[in-house]
Amino acid sequence: MKIARNNIKRLFLFKYEYWESKNLNEIKERVSKGFKLLPVETIAKVVEETIGNLEDIAEYSPQKTLAIRSIATEPPMIYLLIIEENDIGGKIILIETKQSLYSYEKILTGMRAFSAYAGIKTWLIQPLQP
């Protein structure tokens, strides 16, 4: 199942900083076994259709962005758009689909686990309205 605007349940905006990973390529290496890499433009387009221009919430550049989803569940419940804004880190948009059974608290707990796996530190900025 492809991600589409009408399949989005919730979106969350996180700030991240590099920790064990020092750049986007290192994040990509760390998550490549448990996550599927996706075309950035596809995910970015759906996010923009849902909440408006990405540049209003992050310093978005397709060349400095990573789009992934977990390979553990089918259909996918969570997508991540990881946007590098500078040498320190950037923003992550977490997209939860309507297939998700996760509570708000489970999303935040899962993000902490993902952060450790990816070698970054994250902080919730705000939920975004779909």
Where do the domains of the chain lie? 5-128
Is the pLDDT higher at 58 or at 91?
91
Mind listing the pLDDT tens digit for each residue in 47-86?
998 988 888 888 888 899 999 998 888 888 999 999 999 9
Following DSSP, what letter does each residue of 34-100 receive, concatenated?
TEEEE-HHHHHHHHHHHHS-GGGTS---GGGEEEEEESSSSS--EEEEEEE-SSSEEEEEEEEETT-
CA distance 84 to 88: 8
Q: What are phi and psi of 114, to 5 degrees?
A: -60, -40
**Residue range 98-110, pLDDT digits in tens:** 999 999 999 999 9
- Give CA separation, 16 vs 75, 80, 92, 99, in Å: 27, 12, 7, 26
Instruction: Give pTM, 2 decimals.
Output: 0.94
d(CA 10, CA 98): 8
| Measured torsion, CA atoms of residues 102, 104, 5, 95, in degrees rounded to the nearest 10 | -90
